[in-house]
Amino acid sequence: MHSTLTEHARCLYGDEYRPKPECGYEHHERRFIEELTFADAESILAMLRELCPHLVDGLLPVWVRNLAYRLVLLQRPDHPVLMREAAQNLWFYGPDWDDIAAELIRRADALDAD
């Protein structure tokens, strides 16, 4: 098994900044998604920061990024900085999610106003 969520994602999807590692495991996207689903926010954010450091780069599929941000926000529902980051991600890969991104910004602004 991989020691971190980031390592697992790198083996499965590759890394724009490093060569894809040769780990010898058979990779199944389903297993990665199960690991992502139950990962803590710190592990998910570490994966996003390392594999997609500028939001618009990286090789993670858009749907994996969206799911990752959703899972982080479920664990940290009152974190305006993360809400804005998730909104930016949605806007970069929209327009299907523009309304969700706008709502995240509204929620972040409301939290900052308190």
- Percentage, residues of the chain above pLDDT 90: 75
- Please tell me the distance from the alpha carbon of residue 90 to that of residue 62, in angstroms, as a whole number: 9
What predicted TM-score, i.e. pTM, was given to this entire model?
A: 0.92
- Residue 59 is predicted with a pLDDT of 92
- Over residues 18-71, the pLDDT tens digits come to 877 778 777 889 999 999 999 999 999 999 999 998 888 889 999 999 999 999
Report the chain's mean pLDDT, rounded to a whole number.
92
Taking the C-alpha atoms of residue 46 and residue 42, their distance in angstroms, rounded to an integer, is 6
Domain boundaries, the chain: 5-113
Instruction: Tell me how far apart the terminal alpha carbons of the chain are, to the nearest angstrom.
Output: 44
In order, the DSSP letters of 10-50 are HHHH--SSSPPP---PPP-HHHHHHHHHT--HHHHHHHHHH
